[in-house]
Structure 1
Amino acid sequence: MRFEGLDLNLLVALDAILEERSVMGASRRLHLSQPAMSAAIGRLRQYFNDEIFTISQRKLVPTPLAQSLEKPTRDILLRIRTNLISPPKFDPANSERRFRLVVSDYASIVLMHAVMKRVYRDAPGVCLEILPFSDRVDEQLQRGEVDFVIVPASNLIDGHPSQHLFADEFCCVAWRGNREIGRSISLRRYLQAGHITAQLGLMGGASFDERALVQLGYRRRIELIAPNFTAMAAMVIGTNRIATMHHRLAAIFARNFPLKLLRAPVRIPAFREALQWPASFHMDPALAWLREILTDVASEVDRTPAAQMRVG
């Protein structure tokens, strides 16, 4: 199909090349032969009267014009996919769609376990792919590479719709065999103790609770940084270290691990989890269906006291 002299198929080729930075990679992605992909590059050069790419160290390097075309090309293709190609209705019972969600292990346990049960009950052919956080989350949303991101409300990504999910408080977690800490912990002891914390790619450094403590003028001694919240809780066991973590998740862990929960000696602001999705997919009926399940389950989590939290 042509639009004002431009073969719209060339936009698909341009997007693949900009993403892959390789003729071979782009041809594999589009299931085309390398000669066919090379021909598409030639036609792009002819239409835009620009080299589009140069070769440096065996890699394709986009020209300034090609770089300026990357975002609008991706936006156009996303809108075509959402508004023209996607079916106007979504039939969950017969769908085999794969949804990709970026979710922390915290939200996976507290929220997604129950979401998955409901999804598989109503849409047994649907696949949910849970992805870890990375520093590319904003790019993944912008390019439509993921359908949803569950993110702290303080880290919402500009330019995409969002919705509140649920709130949580923080508490301290210690090993049951820790004789240095009883049923409560003073602020002085809290600041003197060795701490375990977790860091996600999206946080870009300090955790939510660490930033809150610094804003309140407190500094604690962090001895270990875990890759996720589950590892953080497990690494407390057998040590005199403590961890500050979400109360709902800590209550679940305390039923399965030798852990004791303590009231935090300093008031940390409530943690709020939010849902985001690509702006270009806002009208996608399949995403609207899953979004309704996510928010419905989240409202149940929000109503459930932390002490009563159960997996699923």
Structure 2
Amino acid sequence: MAALDLEWIAVFDEVYKASSVTKAAERLGLTQGAASTALNRLRGFYGDPLFTRTSRGMLATPRADELQPVLRQIRESLEGTLTGTNGFDPSTSRRAFRICMTDLGETSLLPALLNTLQSSAPGVRIDAERIGSESRRRLEEGLVDLAVGYMPQLDAGFYQQSLVEQDFRCIAAASHPRLRRRLTDQMYSAERHIEVLTEGTGHTGVIQNAIRAEGIVRQVALQVPSFLAVAQIVSETDLLAMVPTHYALVTQRRESIKVYRLPFPSPRYVIKQHWHSRFHRDPANIWLRQTVAKLMPSTVRRESLTDRQTGK
């Protein structure tokens, strides 16, 4: 029987992540032909097609699903022996990292991260995906390196690091006809609002609980599934929106809006980064986490195991 080759395993791992031989080849710095050859040799080794072409890309077979965690561990162990514990060099690496984040992370973290990488790690690529119902599974299976944002559903089962505490502000159009320098309870209740119903984050619950606790009944004129277009909509209408403070300040530089303190105590939440134990000691992922942490103000540099991992 032929011996397993590290390149075959790496190609398998990247195809499993990306559902694409082409993307796997790009991430590994191989030609598509070389990646296809490696995958075919692994297919012959196991006597299984491993992946089949579908309209959604290369779909893993049951045998591939069974092999994935084993081959991922083998790849990490072998690459670790080749590079050493301190062998990751961001200045020369061509590694692709997949980060799961909220829509707020896309607007605030991604630009700063990409600007940092341009100078310190020009060959490193970031593949971003939106937090959703499959995010927990994808983190557990090693398909995602890191999750960043306010994601209380990930507090159990993963390593986590608190990055920064945030609160909320109210935004309105700079030319709003009725608002003055200070936002009062009466003004807030009298105006129409945008309500953001996010999936995969805890922002919706935090906002709704705070408003309910104050006994305020908002006049919701628009519901949207994310924060991405909220500032633009606010700038072109007379609607108000309660948004995280960092988002308000970032979008104020791009949109014609004013930022107001809420007329009631603002709820607070903590932005964290989460990762699976399989990546905890990986030099490349340690570097990625440190890079993300440095981009966040008032970083709390404390890592903790969750209840499930400690068995408490």
Q: Is TM-score (shorter-chain normalized) higher than 0.5?
A: yes
Given that 2:107 and 2:228 are in contact with CA atoms closer than 8 Å, whether structure 1 keeps it comes out as: no
CA distance in 2, matches of 1:31, 1:138: 30
* Counterpart residue type for residue 245 of structure 1: V
TM-score by length of 2: 0.71
CA distance in 2, matches of 1:286, 1:92: 8
* Counterpart residue type for residue 276 of structure 2: P
Query: Which residue of the partner structure matches residue 286 of structure 1?
Result: 284
Confirm or deny that 1:85 pairs with 2:79: yes
Question: Which stretch has the larger CA shift, 109-118 or 94-103?
Answer: 109-118
Structure 2 vs 1, CA of residues 104 and 195 (structure 1 numbering), >3 Å: closer, same or farther? same
SS of the residue corresponding to residue 201 of structure 1 reads coil
* Counterpart residue type for residue 142 of structure 1: E
Given that 2:158 and 2:275 are in contact with CA atoms closer than 8 Å, whether structure 1 keeps it comes out as: yes
Residue 41 of structure 1, CA deviation = 8.1
CA distance in 1, matches of 2:291, 2:41: 43
Stretches of structure 1 that go unaligned for 5 or more consecutive residues are: 21-27, 44-59, 303-312
CA distance in 2, matches of 1:152, 1:204: 6
Query: Which residue of the partner structure matches residue 48 of structure 1?
Result: none
Given that 2:17 and 2:143 are in contact with CA atoms closer than 8 Å, whether structure 1 keeps it comes out as: no
Query: Which residue of the partner structure matches residue 46 of structure 1?
Result: none
Query: Which residue of the partner structure matches residue 117 of structure 1?
Result: 115
Confirm or deny that 1:179 pairs with 2:173: no
Query: Which residue of the partner structure matches residue 94 of structure 1?
Result: 92
Confirm or deny that 1:140 pairs with 2:134: no
CA distance in 2, matches of 1:269, 1:192: 21
Structure 2 vs 1, CA of residues 288 and 36 (structure 1 numbering), >3 Å: closer, same or farther? closer
**Number of residue-to-residue matches in the alignment:** 274
Q: How does 1:47-58 map to 2 (within 5 A)?
A: none
Given that 2:168 and 2:243 are in contact with CA atoms closer than 8 Å, whether structure 1 keeps it comes out as: yes
CA distance in 1, matches of 2:88, 2:277: 19
Which structure has the larger Rg over C-alpha atoms?
Answer: 1
Query: Which residue of the partner structure matches residue 297 of structure 1?
Result: 295
CA distance in 2, matches of 1:35, 1:104: 37
CA distance in 2, matches of 1:15, 1:297: 29
Query: Which residue of the partner structure matches residue 53 of structure 1?
Result: none
2:249 to 246, 251, 255: 251
* Counterpart residue type for residue 117 of structure 1: N
Residue 77 of structure 1, CA deviation = 3.3
Given that 2:149 and 2:273 are in contact with CA atoms closer than 8 Å, whether structure 1 keeps it comes out as: yes
Given that 2:163 and 2:298 are in contact with CA atoms closer than 8 Å, whether structure 1 keeps it comes out as: no
Q: How does 1:193-272 map to 2 (within 5 A)?
A: 193-203=191-201, 206-272=204-270
Confirm or deny that 1:167 pairs with 2:161: no
Question: Which stretch has the larger CA shift, 88-97 or 108-117?
Answer: 108-117
CA distance in 2, matches of 1:186, 1:171: 13
CA distance in 2, matches of 1:206, 1:250: 16
CA distance in 1, matches of 2:193, 2:203: 16
Q: For each residue in 1:133-184, what CA deviation from the matched residue of structure 2 results, as whole angstroms up to 9, or x when unmatched? A: 2221111111111111112153434211110111222110011222122222
Given that 2:151 and 2:200 are in contact with CA atoms closer than 8 Å, whether structure 1 keeps it comes out as: no
CA distance in 2, matches of 1:116, 1:33: 31
Query: Which residue of the partner structure matches residue 76 of structure 1?
Result: 70
Q: For each residue in 1:51-78, what CA deviation from the matched residue of structure 2 results, as whole angstroms up to 9, or x when unmatched? A: xxxxxxxxx9x99xx8xx85xx544333
Once the two structures are aligned, what percentage of the paired residues are identical? 25
Superposed CA RMSD in Å reads 4.1
TM-score by length of 1: 0.71
Structure 2 vs 1, CA of residues 42 and 118 (structure 1 numbering), >3 Å: closer, same or farther? closer
